[in-house]
Every structure is written in C-alpha cells, then in structure tokens.
C-alpha cells in the first residue's frame, strides 16, 4: 500500500442496488464463477480484522479494523492490514460491509477509503462511529456510508448480503448471510448468546435456523473464546456486582471499562441514579460514545445524573461516580493518567474505589498490572479480576459455538477472529460436531481459499502483512526499524563527531562523543574519554589523504562499538559524523 495512501482514483462503477426480497435464481443453468475467501487480517491475531470474498469479477470486503501495537512496536500508533490486494483490484470491490463498531473492525475504514473509495454498509450505531472516526482522523474522503437495517438485502455484484442481529459487547452488532452463485455463506461476526441483553437484541437464532434448514455452503465463526467450556455469562450478572460495590463504597467510585461497552455504561448510570450519585464521564472515546448513543436513543441517561467536571469538587465523595477509559493500560488514557497523578481533574486519594470492569487483552497484562499497582500505591481500593465478577466478555464460549453449528449445519467451515490456538480449538469443535476434517480450513492471513462447491483448496497467497500508521503516514512494518528503536530504547545512542582537515586529510583535534540514553557523561566521563582516544587512534592509524568519508565513518563505528561493549557489555546505536572533507 503506497505511503500516505497516494493511489489513483478508482474508476467509476455502477452503484449497488437495494432490495427487500431475495433474488430469484435463474432456471437457466450456468457455470458458477469461482468463490475465493481471502483473509487480510484477524486470523492468528486479535485485531486487524479484514476479509475479502471474491466471486467472479466481484469482491466484498468484510470489516476494516486496526490492531493496537505491541510493546515491541516502539513509536507505532496503530497497525492496519496490508490492503495492496484490494488496491490492485479496486475496480472489482463492490462494497465494505461492517459487522459492528469496535475499532478492531472499523478503525482502518479511513485508510481503506482513501485508497479504494467504495460504498460502506453498516448498522445505525456503526455508521455514527465510522463518521466520528473519519472526523477525528481528519479524513477528507467523501465516504458513502449507508445505514442498513437487519433483514434488508443488499445486492453487491453477483452476491447479495443480509445482516442479522447478534448479541455482542456493543449495540447494533450483526452477522452476515451472503448469497453467492455457489451457495450461502454465513459469517457470525463477533457474538455470544445472551437471551436477555441489557441493550440491543439477542442473537437471532431463528434466522440462523431458517438459513440452516437449507444447505449452507460455508460458515465463518468467531473463535475468540473457543477454549472456554460452557456458556458466557449474561451481561446482567455484572449489574449485581456493581450494585454491591457502589452501595458499600464510602468514597468515590471510579469505573473503568471499554468506551464501546454501552450496556455497561447504562448499568453504571442506572446504579448511580439509584444511590443518588452524580456521574462524571472522562476520556475522549468515552465522552464520544456517551454523546452518540444518547443522541440515537441507545443510551438512556437518567435525569440529573451526568454532571460537568466543574461540579465534582462541590460534591461529597460518596455522591460521585466517575466513568473512564484505560482498562488496557493505554499510556494516554484517563485511568493511567489518574494512576500517575497527571489527570487534570481527578486525583486518586484514600477512600476511592476503582473498578476494573474489563479483562486485559492478551499482551496487555503487564501494563495493566502497572496501572493497578499505581492506583493501589495512591491509596485506592482496586476491584479487578475474574473473582470480582465485574466483567463478562462479549464472545461465545464452547457450547454457544456448538449451538451455531447445530443450527447452521454448514458443508465447509473456517474459524475466524482469534489467535491460532483459538482457531485450532474451534476447528476441533467443528470436527466433533460432524464436519469432515477435509472441509475445515484453518487459514493464515493472505491465504486464498478457493471453493468449487464440492471441495476447497488453498490455491494462492496474497500480501497480508502489517502496515503501521503514525498519523497520516502509512508504511509497511520494517523489522530493521523496529530493531533499531528497541536498541535505542534499551541501550541508547552515541554520536561521535570527527573533524578532518580538508587540506591535510588528517584528524583535527579530538573526536567529540555525545550519548543519549546510554550513560550519564558526568558519571562516566572516563569511559567516554577512553572512547575518544580509541576512535582518534583508529582514524589516525588508518587515515591517508585519499580515504573517503564512508571508510572513516565505518572505522569509527566499529572501533567505538567494540570498545564500549568491552567496557559495558551494552550495544548502543553509534552514529559517526565526519566533517571537513
């Protein structure tokens, strides 16, 4: 994908049409085009979800998400999928279909639209969140974002798409029923089976049973919690725990949760109103979600419950509830800034109760633990962990996945959305449920699976690596750059400046050494003095009038690196600067 999304404008193509009834199949027998399934992200990892379905000359893209960088990706804001395959085939892309409004499914929409300007299809809340994201990123793309209701059928080339409601940790989440010339595809999206959700509709099992009464060609199903036996607890169980905590708290209650978990926000507000506490909302994403969902009627804010921060110091501690982001230890989040004493409005003090109403995403455990330790150190009582019962996740466990298999009864199966172990476990569940092993495909990002109706085979591989985004700059993840950044963060950098006489070609004066993040010059002056002498000797011994700048720089770098490693057993990045030549 070209840097800064500088790609030619897409060619004009016919706009997809809408219909409220399914297309009638032609009685005339025709040779069905090949069907290809191409995951571009989201398999073998948590995040960066993007899937392409290709049938003949038509491509449908499902989701366009980001992945938050790991600790090793120093200086990276977000990670997005490699979209080069879609850019190369942009005239065949008929639409982007969004299953729900989480960032790992919509966070890369602006990047895709700047390269492949196609219509977007999403439910009510998802369209609002996409618009909010485009505005926050300063995107100048004139996006055609279409609001679609579950049950409405959209024609996209030779395929049609219908959304059906699923229960997840954000309202308006949907699964997809896609009709192709080869047969029906069911994509569950992220889901669980909560029959009485706090907000939104339960997963439409009736629609799944109806589509499963006919032959379903392919099922793609959420694998995130395939390892967990039994059923995922309903969201309502969290309300009882939160109620007890707020009722028993003598001081302020600070509830940290995902900003998109609207049902949790609703429960916190209802409980606060019950105990006549004022709610203060902090964190840009949390404030944005509260505003959007209350405007469209998904969040019912009790009267006189939400207050402005100017009033927080005028209330006794036992009349305050604070809703915040930061459960994943994000460095700039509101909760982390509270833990470090840097939040402009909230200073943690003795008597505060902090509720971590979320579980760490895999890979975030260390930074989350650091945040919890900081909060305890400042005197707060922190409620966290599975034993506290202040969080339930939004994905189906093993028995729920089995229920979907029983209803859909697909011929082929692809586990999606999860690390490789989750996909492998889900594949084993599918086999236990009677799907032949040869009809189960555990894919990697970039695999091109081709189905002909009777069998499937991985026939190709397309680019599907990681691209990193820093503001408007997008480039492929460079392993050497990440290695240099890790070295800089661990051992620092040492600059050595060498002045060569333009007339004699010899060293003028002593080399100058400056270190950043390596050693304190005041404490290690003797070490740096030894480095200067080593570099001066190496340059003087090897210097002749005809030597070039590159040779001098290489000699200085090698000499200083060897000297510093012998003395410290550390390997700082060494940058020689030769002047005068």
Catalytic residues: 222, 395
State how far the Cα of 53 lies from the Cα of 143, in Å rounded to an integer.
21
210 contacts 412 by C-beta, under 8 angstroms: no
DSSP 263-289: HHHHHHHHHHHHTTPEEEE-SHHHHHH
State how far the Cα of 79 lies from the Cα of 475, in Å rounded to an integer.
10
Beta bridge partners of 175: 164
Q: Is 512 helix (H, G, I), strand (E, B) or coil?
A: strand
Q: Any idea what DSSP says for residue 14? A: P
Is residue 12 exposed (0-12), middle (13-18) or buried (19+ Cβ within 10 Å)? exposed
User: In Å, what is the CA distance from 223 to each residue of 88, 402, 429?
Assistant: 30, 11, 10
158 contacts 94 by C-beta, under 8 angstroms: no
The single residue listed with the structure tokens 């006189």 is: 304
Which positions ≥6 away from 379 have C-beta within 8 Å? 348, 349, 350, 351, 352
Which positions ≥6 away from 420 have C-beta within 8 Å? 43, 44, 442
User: In Å, what is the CA distance from 475 to each residue of 43, 83, 105?
Assistant: 21, 11, 20
- Work out the angle at residue 204's Cα, subtended by the Cα atoms of residues 430 and 51, and round it to the nearest 5 degrees: 55
């Amino acid at each position: 994908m070209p840097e800064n999304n500088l790609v030619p404008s897409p060619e004009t193509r016919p706009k997809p049409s809408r219909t409220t009834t399914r297309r009638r199949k032609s009685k005339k027998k025709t040779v069905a085009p090949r069907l290809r399934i191409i995951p571009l992200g989201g398999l073998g990892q948590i995040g960066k979800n993007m899937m392409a379905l290709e049938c003949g000359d038509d491509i449908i893209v499902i989701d366009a998400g980001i992945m938050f960088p790991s600790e090793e990706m120093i200086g990276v804001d977000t990670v997005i999928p490699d979209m080069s395959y879609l850019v190369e085939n942009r005239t065949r892309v008929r639409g982007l279909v969004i299953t729900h409004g989480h960032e790992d499914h919509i966070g890369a929409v602006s990047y895709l639209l700047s390269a492949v300007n196609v219509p977007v299809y999403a439910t009510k809340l998802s369209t609002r969140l996409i618009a909010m994201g485009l505005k926050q990123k300063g995107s100048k793309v004139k996006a055609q974002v279409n609001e679609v209701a579950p049950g409405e059928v959209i024609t996209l080339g030779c395929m049609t798409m219908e959304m059906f409601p699923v229960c997840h940790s954000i309202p308006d989440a949907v699964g997809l029923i896609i009709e192709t010339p080869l047969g029906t595809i069911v994509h569950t999206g992220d889901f669980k089976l909560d029959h009485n959700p706090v907000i939104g509709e339960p997963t439409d099992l009736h629609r799944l049973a109806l589509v499963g009464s006919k032959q379903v060609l392919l099922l793609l199903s959420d694998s995130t919690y395939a390892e967990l036996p039994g059923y995922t607890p309903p969201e309502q169980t969290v309300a009882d725990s939160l109620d007890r905590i707020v009722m028993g708290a003598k001081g302020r209650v600070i509830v940290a949760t995902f900003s998109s978990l609207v049902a949790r926000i609703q429960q916190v507000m209802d409980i606060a109103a019950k105990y006549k506490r004022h709610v203060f909302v902090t964190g840009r994403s949390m404030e944005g979600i509260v505003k959007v969902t209350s405007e469209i009627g998904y969040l019912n804010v009790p009267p006189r419950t939400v207050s402005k921060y100017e009033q927080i110091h005028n209330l006794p501690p036992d009349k305050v509830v604070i809703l915040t982001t930061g459960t994943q230890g994000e460095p700039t989040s509101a909760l982390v800034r509270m833990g470090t004493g840097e939040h402009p409005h909230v200073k943690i003090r003795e008597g505060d109760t902090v509720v971590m109403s979320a579980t760490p995403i895999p890979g975030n455990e260390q930074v989350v633990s650091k945040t919890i330790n900081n909060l305890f150190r400042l005197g707060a009582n922190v409620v966290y962990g599975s034993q506290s019962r202040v969080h339930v996740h939004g994905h189906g466990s093993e028995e729920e996945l089995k229920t979907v298999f029983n209803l859909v009864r697909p011929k082929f199966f692809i586990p999606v959305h999860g690390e490789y172990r989750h996909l492998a476990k889900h594949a084993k569940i599918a086999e236990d449920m009677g799907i032949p092993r040869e009809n189960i495909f555990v894919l990697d990002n970039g695999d091109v699976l081709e189905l002909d109706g009777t069998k499937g085979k991985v026939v190709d591989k397309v680019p599907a690596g990681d691209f990193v985004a820093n503001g408007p700059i997008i480039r492929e993840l460079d392993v050497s750059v990440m290695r240099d950044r890790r070295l800089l963060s661990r051992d620092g950098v040492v600059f050595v400046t060498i002045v060569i006489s333009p007339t004699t070609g010899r060293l003028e004066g002593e080399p100058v050494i400056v270190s950043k993040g390596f050693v304190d010059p005041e404490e290690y002056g003797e070490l740096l003095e030894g480095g200067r002498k080593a570099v001066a000797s190496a340059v003087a011994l090897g210097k002749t009038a005809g030597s070039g700048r590159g040779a001098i720089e290489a000699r200085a770098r090698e000499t200083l690196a060897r000297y510093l490693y012998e003395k410290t057993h550390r390997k700082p990045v060494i940058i020689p600067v030769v002047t005068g030549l």
